[in-house]
Amino acid sequence: MIEKQHITDRFIKYVTIDTESDPNNPAFPSTEKQWDLANVLVEELKQIGMKEVDLDDNCYIMATLPSNLDYEVPTIGFVAHIDTSPDFTGKNVKPQIVENYQGNNIILNVEENIVLSPDYFDDLLQYKGQTIITTDGTTLLGADDKAGVTEIVTAMEYLILHPEIKHGKIRICFTPDEEVGKGAHLFDVAKFGAEWAYTMDGSQIGELEYENFNAAGAKVTITGKIVHPGYAKGKMINSMLIANEFISALPTNEVPQRTEGYEGFFHLHDINGNVEKTVLEYIIRDHDLDLFEKRKSLIEKIALDFNTKYNQDLIEVTIKDQYFNMKEKITPVMHIVDIAEEVMNDLGITPLIKAIRGGTDGSQLSYKGLPCPNIFAGGHNFHGRYEYVPVESMVKATEVIVGIAEKVSVKFA
């Protein structure tokens, strides 16, 4: 069916083009080099026979695979991002291919003694006998999300070459700047014109996700009073000590390092202070909307209690919502998840349905009116030198895309 060599060649072509995004540049896209891959993709999409291939001023690529049916079915979409994470360099990626992997240590880099070992990364062991693409230990790989891009292009090409596979109209989109949280910002949902879509941006084979955190940021500003320490009795208010008290007033076990699954948390990620002024920066996360609201209220209540206790306006809290759990938008159209799940079962892939402990472009897209669950792209250990992807997982993800296209044509006949 889908040829391993073909998908490998395409993937390697994409990962050797540096597309690292930049969280500190407000420009859009955040780095000029993302155009390099965008331009390659535009040419390739035209060349394989996609229609309405369009690269807009913000570096979003959209294209159409027209329906080959004589009846109407919903238009669906597939989305991936072209940028790679600024957490680790994506320049001069030199992929290494390990064929027929036997469960051993993979030496990524002899000189620097960098080893990808199943002793530490035990997920490797599920890929015995497969072809694994790794880095050379000095860069990330960029399977996040060039595996997704590869799979979408390859699936479209496959459908074009196999007109006997029936499908409705398919729209695809490649976005810039996902890794800096802006991939969905300038996504033109109306222009995309799909009833729903899937991001091909999950990790290991089988992943299917339609729940993510509700997220907010809280800034807690504590204002103290500085007085000469020798004459401070009854007068000095040390904002750092109040901050310490404030930190202790939050539930000590509800922190990232002590939570998993559906457990939410408060995460203190920045603290900056002197006697006069201390600022605490928190992120607040919870899958459950009700508990999420309660978390926000708790921070506000603690601040209020402190102000009452000290009879002063010591603490000011500002809370900003960041994103919401897409579940709210997916549950009413649950068949879009069911279709993906059925296709995986048809292909002998065990669906791994779990809640994302983070956000996704799909959640923002879902709130913009494009319900958008997330499907595995196949890679592991994203955003670092140990990133790898089994070619067989990319083949399977490509088959999932083809299968979804076909299943929609049958379900809505």
- Give the binding site for Zn ion (CB under 5 A): 144-145, 201
Of the two residues 136 and 201, which places its CB atom closer to Zn ion in the complex?
201
Of the two residues 145 and 399, which places its CB atom closer to Zn ion in the complex?
145
> How far apart are CB 360 and Zn ion at their closest, in Å?
8
Whole-number CA gyration radius for the chain: 24
> How far apart are CB 218 and Zn ion at their closest, in Å?
26
Whether residue 346 lies in the annotated active site: no
The residues, ordered by sequence, that sit 6+ positions from 82 with a Cβ below 8 Å of its Cβ are: 19, 34, 37, 38, 41, 59, 61, 145, 146, 149, 174, 175, 176
User: Binding residue per annotation — 383?
Assistant: yes
Q: Report in angstroms the alpha-carbon separations of 367 from 131, 363, 403.
A: 38, 6, 26
User: Binding residue per annotation — 342?
Assistant: no
The answer to whether 37 and 51 are in contact (CB under 8 A) is no
User: Binding residue per annotation — 338?
Assistant: no
Burial class (CB in 10 A: 0-12, 13-18, 19+), 275: middle
Distance between CA atoms of residues 78 and 405, nearest Å: 10
Of the two residues 174 and 306, which places its CB atom closer to Zn ion in the complex?
174
Whether residue 178 lies in the annotated active site: yes
> How far apart are CB 299 and Zn ion at their closest, in Å?
30
Distance between CA atoms of residues 279 and 317, nearest Å: 10
Of the two residues 146 and 285, which places its CB atom closer to Zn ion in the complex?
146
The secondary structure of the chain in percent helix, strand, coil, rounded to multiples of 5, reads 35, 25, 40
> How far apart are CB 148 and Zn ion at their closest, in Å?
7
Among 18, 20, 22, 83, which one carries the catalytic annotation?
A: 83
Among 136, 145, 177, 178, which one carries the catalytic annotation?
A: 178
To which residue do tokens 């080099």 refer? 33
Residue set of the binding site for Zn(2+): 81, 144, 179, 201, 383
Residue set of the binding site: 81, 144, 179, 201, 383
Just list the catalytic residues. 83, 178
